[in-house]
Amino acid sequence: MNARKDSWENSRMRCFKAPHICTALSLVMLFLSVTGTSKQNIPRLKLSYKDLLLSNSCIPFLGSAEGFDFRTLLLDEERGRLLIGAKDHIFLLSLVDLNKNVKKIYWPAAKEKVEVCKLAGKDVQTECANFIRVLQPYNRTHVYVCGTGAFHPVCGYIELGIHKEETVFRLDTQNLEPGRLKCPFDPHQPFASVMTDDYLYAGTASDFLGKDPALTRSLGPSHDHHYIRTDISEHYWLNGAKFIGTYPIPDTYNPDDDKIYFFFREISQDSSTSDKAILSRVGRICKNDMGGQRSLINKWTTFLKARLVCSIPGPEGADTYFDELQDIFLLSTRDERNPLVYGVFTTTSSVFKGSAVCVYSMADMRAVFNGPYAHKESVDHRWVQYEGRIPYPRPGTCPSKTYDPLIKSTRDFPDDVISFIKRHPLMYKSVYPVTGGPVFTRINVDYRLTQIVVDHVMAEDGQYDVIFLGTDTGTVLKVVSITKEKWTMEEVVLEELQIFKHPTFISTMEMSLKQQQLYIGSKDGLVQLSLHRCHTYGKACADCCLARDPYCAWDGNSCSRYAPTSKRRARRQDVKYGDPVAQCWDVEESISHETADEKVIFGIEFNSTFLECIPKSQQASIRWYIQRSGEEHREEFLDCLKFCGCTLQDREHRDSSIQGPYNIVCSMSWLNRIALFFLRVLLSERVNCQHVKNNVPRLRLSYKGKSIVVFYFLSLS
């Protein structure tokens, strides 16, 4: 993998010189990876909106019917409440049930601002309103809130009770303040913010037209109420940036080294090609950055950035790149300095559409920021590695008494340090995924990934990261990435869930570990979704084991939520291999017949009968067996469909019973009976119907759509 990193620039140059070759190679490799995809990439369960409601694992917020745009969520696990920023409204809801004890604040944009917005040609419904984009905890009793204010951002404070039972929920309308550089003008613009140490850090456009992206710091102690921001005059710093996430992450045990990391995508142009490319970036600044003394006054003096690479490796560096960062999630570990960074990326190519999930380590990011800088002589030159003298202290280093007692603040930095970082904010090397490539990809599907949250789950055979992915069609994918032999990765799609009644773009997702719930927002609604619904996998031990869901295990009676226990063989679960033979050999035979559905079907002699059987799992294959009345031997009926049903042609009256089908799961060779059909064949001469053999359509008995049995009603003589 290190060889890949070291040769990346050379490979990139080859692609710049012969882009058509690299594109062709990338498409070939992508085709091979897609066509070679195993059946595991098919979701084991695919549940509709109605299925989720019936399973009691999905609660839609009833206020969604009023047409709010739910974009901003603030989770308060300690007090069991959820703040929601919507169009002209702020909601306070219960984490247990979104529809209990609902409180809301109506905060529309000022009428005169709405009129100005309309005159500027903006849409009245989707732009000229107050869309809440900032909800950040300010202290124990207040939340800082900002809205777009019909393209005139405005901010204020919401007063909340300390305790869950308190009814205080009030916006202080007497102390509103301008929201420029804190909140976007455009409600649809990607945006990121975080509040830490009384400061608000925000990545947003600073102007009405959205042409000036900026990373800013505002608020803070009363003696320090001035903005620090990126330099608008230097195009090397930010170029059409769209901010995705902002997080405070300590670098060492010394608090002077604490930094703010921010993730974004921007336009990058290399002189060797006329095309403008969108690339994903990670940047950072020091928390104690106060700006420069003579240059970069009120500007960042520790700003650095590097490329985030998410790609499928190909020959000769012709990788398939997913360059547009859509969302970021930080998965906490035991060391607060080293969370795992999960990112959702999409392709920029017009040839194919795809999405990928890549995982990064903070150690790799720090190594890149401590590595060589990129250098560019002018706009007409390409980026190369800087080979000259690097000033002291190293640009990007946070001022610290333990590092250099003479440098107490960024205002004490020498002029050559300020001049260097002004022209060299980009690092030469890129940050690569810890696995060398994506842990999950989706190619040639009718949706793109938009949001991600991750839960670290303890299972019987180890620990797993369960990934929840929102899409632009209103579905949520539940995925687990499993490390196999020789550090190869296997992606297993557990569920595909249609959580909204109609397709919609999922714009925000939050997870409550305490409640074991997801909270998912879109322009059309808000939904509360359980992290697990084990009972839907099936009624047998094999069904539960084959699901490979870290949340679920067989408890002896049903598939239920797994909890670690010291009792030997207390729960049956195999996430890594999904092998029911090893787990369920001593329990399956006693219950397999009990879990099968039994159905009596009537057919007419010399006519066709259609028997339908659809397993819950989309990964299952079907086999049909026929057992005639009075015989012990079963024979496989090979003419049947392998996935949904079996048509029995011209049944004679001696074929008086059909037994089947059996379910066999691909690659596991595990047989489990799904349904038992008893076919009763009626003699044609006893049916009150003329010319049965030749002159009437063949009779088909079928289970249609919603499990309704459709019969032709015939009178018997």
pLDDT over 80 at 238, yes or no:
yes
pLDDT for 134 equals 98
Count of beta carbons in the 10 Å neighbourhood of residue 435: 16
Tokens of 280: 């994903």
pLDDT for 381 equals 76
Q: Can you give the length of the chain in residues? A: 717
pLDDT for 377 equals 79
CA 98 to chain centre: 22
In whole angstroms, what is the distance from residue 419 CA to residue 391 CA? 10
DSSP state of 579: -
CA atoms within 13 A on the CB side of 707: 5
Which whole number is the average pLDDT over 281-287?
Answer: 98
Report yes or no: 73 and 521 within 8 Å, Cβ to Cβ.
Answer: yes
Tokens of 312: 């499928």
In whole angstroms, what is the distance from residue 636 CA to residue 624 CA? 6
pLDDT for 28 equals 38
Which whole number is the average pLDDT over 340-369?
Answer: 93
DSSP strands (E only) in 42-99: 45-47, 58-60, 72-76, 81-85, 89-94
Q: Which of 107-111, 609-613, 690-694 has the lowest mean pLDDT?
A: 690-694
pLDDT for 567 equals 64
| Percent of the chain whose pLDDT exceeds 90 | 60
Q: pLDDT tens across 517-567, in order?
A: 999 999 999 999 999 999 999 888 888 999 999 999 999 899 999 988 766
Report yes or no: 215 and 234 within 8 Å, Cβ to Cβ.
Answer: no
DSSP state of 466: E
* Confidence at 277, pLDDT banded by 50, 70, 90: confident
pLDDT for 527 equals 97
Average pLDDT along the chain? 82
In whole angstroms, what is the distance from residue 262 CA to residue 158 CA? 26
* Confidence at 318, pLDDT banded by 50, 70, 90: confident
pLDDT greater at residue 382 or residue 441: 441
pLDDT greater at residue 666 or residue 228: 228
CA atoms within 13 A on the CB side of 444: 9
Tokens of 545: 């084991």
For the ranges 269-283, 427-441, 620-634, the maximum mean pLDDT occurs at: 427-441
pLDDT greater at residue 267 or residue 625: 267
In whole angstroms, what is the distance from residue 217 CA to residue 300 CA? 10
Tell me the backbone φ, ψ of residue 49, rounded to 5 degrees. Answer: -55, -40
pLDDT for 595 equals 53
Tokens of 297: 């006054």
Q: Which of 218-227, 276-285, 437-446, 463-472 has the lowest mean pLDDT?
A: 218-227
Instruction: Give the CA-trace dihedral at 253, 255, 257, 259, to 10 degrees.
Output: 110
Q: pLDDT tens across 138-171, in order?
A: 999 999 999 999 999 999 999 998 877 778 999 9
In whole angstroms, what is the distance from residue 394 CA to residue 370 CA? 9
First vs last C-alpha separation in the chain: 79
pLDDT over 90 at 663, yes or no:
no
Which whole number is the average pLDDT over 341-354?
Answer: 88
In whole angstroms, what is the distance from residue 208 CA to residue 196 CA? 27
Tokens of 670: 């595990």
pLDDT for 322 equals 96
pLDDT for 571 equals 82
* Confidence at 4, pLDDT banded by 50, 70, 90: very low
pLDDT over 50 at 691, yes or no:
no
pLDDT for 688 equals 56
Report yes or no: 633 and 621 within 8 Å, Cβ to Cβ.
Answer: no
Handedness of CA 228, 232, 237, 243 (dihedral sign): positive
By three-state DSSP, how is residue 8 classified? helix
pLDDT over 50 at 575, yes or no:
yes
Q: pLDDT tens across 19-74, in order?
A: 333 433 344 344 334 433 444 478 999 999 999 999 999 999 988 777 789 999 99
pLDDT over 70 at 701, yes or no:
no
Give long-range contacts, CB 8 A cutoff, 24+ apart: 252-258. 252/337, 254/400, 254/402, 256/288, 256/398, 256/399, 256/400, 256/401, 256/402, 256/403, 257/286, 257/398, 257/400, 258/286, 258/287, 258/288, 258/398
Which residues does residue 679 pair with via DSSP β-bridges, in sequence order? Answer: 601
For the ranges 3-7, 220-224, 338-342, 461-465, the maximum mean pLDDT occurs at: 338-342
* Confidence at 466, pLDDT banded by 50, 70, 90: very high
pLDDT over 50 at 409, yes or no:
yes
**Left, alpha or beta for 583 (phi > 0: left; psi -120 to 50: alpha)?**
alpha
* Confidence at 452, pLDDT banded by 50, 70, 90: very high
Q: Full-prediction pTM beyond 0.75?
A: yes
Edge-to-edge strands, sheet with 259-268: 242-249, 259-268, 277-286, 304-308
Q: Which of 44-53, 220-229, 392-401, 498-507 has the lowest mean pLDDT?
A: 220-229
Q: pLDDT tens across 603-630, in order?
A: 666 666 666 665 666 656 666 666 666 6
CA 379 to chain centre: 37
pLDDT for 10 equals 47
In whole angstroms, what is the distance from residue 230 CA to residue 296 CA? 9
In whole angstroms, what is the distance from residue 237 CA to residue 75 CA? 33
| Residue linked to tokens 């066999």 | 664
By three-state DSSP, how is residue 436 classified? coil
pLDDT over 90 at 480, yes or no:
yes
